[in-house]
Amino acid sequence: MTVKKKIEYKEITKQTVQVKEGKVDVYTKAYNDTIKRAGSVYSADYKLIDETIEDIKKMSRKVSTNDYSANNVYIILQDALKKVRLAEA
């Protein structure tokens, strides 16, 4: 016995969204202003990177209260180091 199904196709239409001029730029600028940048195309801001490394050192010592948590911190930092190495490319 063969079962036949009736398939209905619905037409999909595209709709254009109108954006007031300059509105998107305001949101993009506001978002970009919230991001800390560790450098630009021309130079790197090592101060921000060094501060972050110091924060990581302090926090890793604070949370490494036993062997289990210390091992977890070690694994996470090894993974982060691999990702930093990949950032060179």
pTM over the 0.75 mark: no
Give the per-residue pLDDT at 3. Answer: 64
DSSP 88: T
- Provide mean pLDDT across the span 60-86: 95
Give the per-residue pLDDT at 45. Answer: 73
- DSSP notation for 16-78: PPP--TTHHHHHHHHHHHHS--SB-SS-B-HHHHHHHHHHHHHHHHHH--SHHHHHHHHHHHH
In this structure, which amino acid lies at residue 73?
Answer: V
Give the model confidence (pLDDT) of 39-62 as tens digits. 665 677 788 889 999 999 999 999
Pick the more confident residue, 24 or 74. Answer: 74
> Per-residue pLDDT for 22 more than 60?
no
